[in-house]
Structure 1
Amino acid sequence: MELNPTEFMEGVPIDGYGTGFFRVGGEVHEGAMLLLPSGRFAWSGFDAAPILAARDQIDIMLIGTGPEMTHIPRDFRDALDEAGIGVESMASGQGCRTYNVLLGEGRRIGAALLPT
């Protein structure tokens, strides 16, 4: 079997995650984080403003809700929906994996992740 490396055209893949942190591009980020094509940022959790500011760069926003899948606040989801940004919520571990797959496909993707 021959393995071919994945090339990421936009953004940086998530290297790993653990209790309270995410590792992206070899750097450890503690707490919640926001990944957009323009960079990686700390995220205060369910703050739509920085995501809405990037609406021209993304089509789909993955929301990692922590160690388990939970509902996201209705006003947060509504704000993203009204801006034309698709929203998919899931446990943060699943969100990390999904982000990497979609990023590898060249999709216009962002992720907002609460720590596990």
Structure 2
Amino acid sequence: MKLYADQPETTSIIAYGEGWLQLPQQRFEQSLILGADGRQEPWPCDSFETLTAELLADLAASCADAQVVLLGSGRRNRFPPPAWLRPFAQRQLGLETMDTAAACRTFNVLAGEGRKVVAALILER
């Protein structure tokens, strides 16, 4: 008798620290967009101060299949201006903002549950 739930094949973060994170096969030391489906791509946002409305609009446009997007805002939780979040609202796509460490933990939980989650993680040095 099977007593455990099926675990979907997902991406998971196995370690993280200030300015880096580790996936099973690769270490990243630059900001990136990470999807539970295996998506891994650099994100040209090396600090919260370099975040722009255009970067968030591009992120929203590229996450059509996601259920939720996590924004890891760096060392501490910071929020973009509300007007910048309009592309997410227009797509009825949830955006949750938290510090990057919390976003890494939340990503693993949601991905482990089989949710379609994408994380945009700012890795500050």
What is the TM-score when the length of structure 2 is the normalising length?
0.77
Q: 2:94 aligns with which of 73, 86, 93?
A: 86
Q: Which residue pairs with 1:17 in the alignment?
A: 16
Q: Secondary structure at the match of 1:14?
A: coil
Q: Is the 8 A contact 1:59 1:84 kept in 2?
A: no
- RMSD over equivalenced CA pairs, Å: 2.1
Q: Could you tell me how far apart the structure 1 residues matched to 2:32 and 2:119 are? A: 8
Code of the aligned partner of 2:90: E
Number of residues of Structure 1 aligned to a counterpart in Structure 2: 111
What is the TM-score when the length of structure 1 is the normalising length?
0.83
Shift of 1:69: 0.5
Code of the aligned partner of 2:115: R
Code of the aligned partner of 1:35: L
Q: Could you tell me how far apart the structure 1 residues matched to 2:70 and 2:60 are? A: 11
2:4 corresponds to 1:7 = no
Q: Please tell me whether Structure 1 or Structure 2 has the larger radius of gyration of its CA atoms.
A: 2
Q: Secondary structure at the match of 2:14?
A: strand
Q: Which residue pairs with 1:76 in the alignment?
A: 84
Code of the aligned partner of 1:29: F
Q: Could you tell me how far apart the structure 2 residues matched to 1:28 and 1:66 are? A: 17
Q: Deviations over 1:51-86 (max 9, x none)?
A: 41231x201001000111011243432212211210
Higher strand share: 1
**Which stretches in structure 1 are left out of the alignment for 5+ residues?**
none
Shift of 1:17: 1.1
Code of the aligned partner of 1:53: S
2:39 corresponds to 1:30 = no
Q: Could you tell me how far apart the structure 2 residues matched to 1:73 and 1:30 are? A: 26
Q: Which residue pairs with 2:48 in the alignment?
A: none
Q: Which residue pairs with 1:53 in the alignment?
A: 62
Code of the aligned partner of 1:103: A
Q: Which aligned pairs between 1:102-113 and structure 2 lie closer than 5 A?
A: 102-113=110-121
Q: Deviations over 1:28-65 (max 9, x none)?
A: 1111110122510111234131441231x201001000
Q: Could you tell me how far apart the structure 1 residues matched to 2:91 and 2:97 are? A: 17
2:103 corresponds to 1:95 = yes
Identical amino acids, percent of aligned pairs: 25
Q: Could you tell me how far apart the structure 2 residues matched to 1:50 and 1:69 are? A: 19
